[in-house]
């Protein structure tokens, strides 16, 4: 049995989007509800954060220490280095008052693929977007509730994402040269009531790891969509995973502390970042190219 440990004891309201920076050996992550971007140094145990005025759903790194691209409630922004000075890029959902960005990841060509969430959930009002070369923004998919779990196969020929309330993970053929997706189907359908697929990452063998929100576990799925491993997490709501450390064999897991009191009594480390060692390394995250 794998040993799951607390990497950072913290009560994140909605911890999400852990990202390993292999150049600085740091783990960045967000607390969406607190409007914060965090920088965690596992070596020293130090965690610091930047405070924003709105939700930050996800982000990606840029090359050569040029900072970040942030996907926030009001659209895409550049942030140069560890600074709160934001430069607006585009807001493709400016007319959708309920929506905010939620989850995303860069492809190997440097495009930022990011999706939104539609909180009322009374219709399929969320979308998946591509912020591409030249800062062009285009819609890839519509008709979603909560876009999550964005990840690419090692050869970048398959794009995965989940629609969390539908308990489904999807896969599409991906053309890296154009950024086009096609031939989508259901990769894995989870049973209702046993946890919903949230954030994810793909390891170097092409296996898809996802956190199951309200499922108290993370799972590893084969390229055929079969569950091959499950790891229990000491929190009912893990949210996303990221491969880190020098060998990329430490899986970091964010979680949620904004939960009922009786649940927090049962899982007092909820909201913390957990870690567990795995056998197969992950992949270095691609960075945004503009």
Tell me the C-alpha distance between 30 and 71, whole Å: 11
Token pair, residue 268, equals: 């007092």
CA separation, residue 157 to residues 175, 210, 284 (Å): 6, 19, 17
Mean confidence (pLDDT) of the chain: 97
Query: What pLDDT sits at residue 133?
Result: 85
Q: Where are the alpha helices (DSSP H) in the chain?
A: 261-266
Average pLDDT over residues 222-251: 98
On whether the pTM is more than 0.85, the answer is yes
**Contact predicate 79/92, CB 8 Å:** no
State pLDDT tens for residues 238-266. Answer: 999 999 999 999 999 999 999 999 999 99
Q: Is 269 a catalytic residue?
A: no
State pLDDT tens for residues 128-139. Answer: 999 998 999 999
Considering the candidates 163, 198, 203, 245, report the single residue annotated as catalytic: 198
Assign domain 4-277 one CATH number from 2.120.10.30, 2.30.130.10, 2.60.120.260, 2.60.40.1180.
Answer: 2.120.10.30
């Amino acid at each position: 049995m794998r040993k799951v440990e607390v990497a950072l004891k913290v009560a994140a309201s909605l911890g999400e989007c852990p990202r390993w920076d292999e150049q600085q050996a740091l783990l960045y992550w967000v607390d969406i509800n607190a409007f914060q971007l965090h920088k965690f140094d596992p070596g020293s145990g130090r965690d610091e954060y930047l405070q924003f005025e709105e939700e930050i759903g996800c982000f990606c790194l840029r090359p050569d220490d040029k900072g970040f691209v942030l996907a926030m409630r009001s659209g895409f922004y550049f942030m140069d280095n560890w600074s709160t000075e934001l430069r607006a890029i585009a807001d493709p959902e400016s007319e959708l008052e309920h929506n905010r960005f939620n989850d995303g990841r860069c492809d190997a060509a440097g495009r930022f693929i990011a999706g939104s969430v539609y909180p009322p959930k009374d219709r399929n009002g969320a979308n998946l977007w591509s912020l591409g070369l030249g800062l062009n923004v285009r819609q890839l998919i519509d008709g979603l509730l909560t876009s999550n779990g964005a990840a690419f196969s090692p050869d970048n020929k398959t794009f995965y994402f989940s629609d969390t309330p539908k308990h489904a993970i999807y896969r599409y053929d991906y053309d890296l040269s154009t950024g086009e997706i096609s031939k989508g189907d259901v990769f894995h359908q989870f049973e209702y009531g046993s946890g919903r697929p949230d954030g994810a990452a793909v390891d170097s063998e092409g296996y898809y790891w996802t956190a199951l929100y309200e499922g108290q576990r993370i799972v590893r799925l084969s390229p055929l969509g079969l569950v091959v491993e499950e790891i229990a997490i000491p929190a009912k709501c893990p949210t996303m995973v990221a491969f880190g450390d020098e060998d990329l064999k430490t899986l970091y897991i964010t979680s949620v502390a904004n939960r009922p009191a009786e649940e927090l009594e049962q899982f007092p480390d909820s909201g913390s970042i957990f870690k567990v060692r795995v056998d197969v390394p992950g992949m270095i995250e691609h960075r945004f190219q503009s």
